[in-house]
Structure 1
Amino acid sequence: MKTRFNRRSLLLLAAGAAFATVSLPGCGRQDEAKPLVALEIDPRTTCDLDGMLLADYPGPKAQIHFVGLATPMFFCDTVELFNTLLRPEQVRAIAAVFVQNMGKADWEQPRGQWIDAKAGIYVLDSKRHGSMGPTIASFAQEADAQAFVKQWGGRVLRYAEIKPEMVDLSGGALHDSRM
């Protein structure tokens, strides 16, 4: 069976192929242009590592948005977040990471105030505890972090300065009297 294309059919076919070629890359750019936003926790939001209800515990919370997943992975503590991020076996592509700005959020019941974790300023070794005991306080402004250090002790670090040995999870539960 012999198929014949006339001039009009060929032009329509070529136009369709050109439209598809131009349209597909544009679709990807639209998706990429949408900035990811942090999702708010509610009374039912649980920590993906241990199942704890985030709303029941003090201190900064965190979330990782992985590429290709519709919902983020939630953490009831920033130590758990950094422990997950800094593990050598963590190879999933990350779209965004958010922590709470404790310069504005209530320590005892933190809600909202999400910031990009990579832009955050952190305080390690303070006397202030989070859901799992000693935690890493997260801030949007260095002045807020310095004020926190004056009141609660600790040292100020940038995101890239936090190392795996600083976020060991082996003793966190030992410090939590509410578990």
Structure 2
Amino acid sequence: MRYLLTNIFPVRGLLVLLVSIALLVSCTKDKQVTMVQQVVAIESGEECHLCGMIIANYPGPKGQLFSKGIVGNLKFCSTRDMFAFIVDPENRHNVQKAFVHDMAVTPWDHPDEETYVDARKAWYVIGHSKQGSMGATLASFAREQDAWNFADAEGGEVLDYDQINLQALVSMTRRH
């Protein structure tokens, strides 16, 4: 019995300690990734990841996302360009987080950097009358009712994140 108390229990305690440390390190890494994956201000002169245009020079909602295997965030001059990147089969499953401007609380001509929302939870209006960086773009909103209000005023169709696919993006260019 004495052998068990002195030789086995310390090993068990050591194993518990090692597992606890491993879990703590794992949680810390996840928290660091989450902390790093947040939008940052778009600086003058920064280029769109997809088309290379200067992002700040154009009106309408912008997008930012994080993708597996790419360090830092990818910035886009329009929500249309961001979704063109996302719907590409090579990219779709690598997108970790995506953000868009909430156009209900920021001016169309110069979206405020403090108004980004989670793109997966946002609502979008396609086929509306407002122009983005290269013409037609998706107007993005944090709340569904704001998207419907915009569609009533500017025209267009309301979609959620999962409804945006290549066909929806192509239909935007045909309307303009």
TM-score range, shorter chain: 0.7 to 0.9
TM-score, structure 2 as length reference: 0.80
Is the 2:50–2:85 Cα contact (8 Å) retained in structure 1?
A: no
Deviation at 1:55, TM superposition (A): 0.8
Give the Cα separation in 1 of the matches to 2:63 and 2:119: 8
> 1:68-147 maps to which residues of 2 (within 5 A)?
68-90=69-91, 93-112=94-113, 113-147=115-149
CA deviations on 1:29-56 (whole Å, 9 max, x unpaired) are: 1232345322221213210112211111
Question: Which consecutive residues of structure 2, in runs of 5 or more, have no partner in the other structure?
Answer: 1-5
Match of 2:24 in 1: 26
- Local SS of the residue matching 2:39: coil
Aligned identity (percent) is 30
Superposition CA RMSD, Å? 2.7
* TM-score for both structures, normalised by structure 1: 0.78
The list of structure 1 runs, each at least 4 consecutive aligned residues, that deviate by more than 6 angstroms after superposition, is none
Q: Deviations over 1:51-101 (max 9, x none)?
A: 211111001100111235431111111111111111122266222111111
Task: Write the distance in 2 (CA, Å) between the matches of 1:158 and 1:94.
Answer: 17
1:148 is aligned to 150
Secondary structure of 1:65 counterpart: strand
The aligned length equals 163
| Separation (CA, whole Å) in 2 of partners of 1:127 and 1:82 | 19
What is the identity, as a one-letter code, of the residue corresponding to 1:103?
A
Unmatched 5+ stretches in structure 1? 1-6
Higher percent of residues as helix: 2
